[in-house]
Amino acid sequence: MLNRMRSEPFAGHYILVQEHKGLPYRLAQFGATPSEPISYTGDTFVTLAEAEWAVFKLRWRRLFGSDLAID
């Protein structure tokens, strides 16, 4: 399952950005091609664990069409 999540198409792939150590993690998505800039969603996270869990749930919804049953 994780391999499938990690091998999503490049376009729209969710990523986490931390511009400087100690700053919040920002959720973003790749553009349609590698040359397009990333777009930020506006979501921020204090910890890496919180950020990764949010991305996991977004990828789950994209792959399976429903929200993950646990939080």
**pLDDT given for residue 26 in this prediction:** 97
pTM of the model: 0.81
Work out the average pLDDT over 16-28: 95
- The structural domains of the chain, with segments of one domain joined by +, span 2-63
pLDDT in tens, 38-65: 999 999 999 999 999 999 999 888 888 8
What gap in Å lies between CA 37 and CA 34, rounded to an integer?
Answer: 8
Q: What is the mean pLDDT of the chain?
A: 88
Q: What is the mean pLDDT of residues 11-26?
A: 92
pLDDT value at position 47? 95
What does DSSP assign to residue 18?
-
In this structure, what token pair is assigned to residue 62? Answer: 């994209």
Token digits of residue 24: 């919040």
Would you say residue 1 has pLDDT above 80?
no
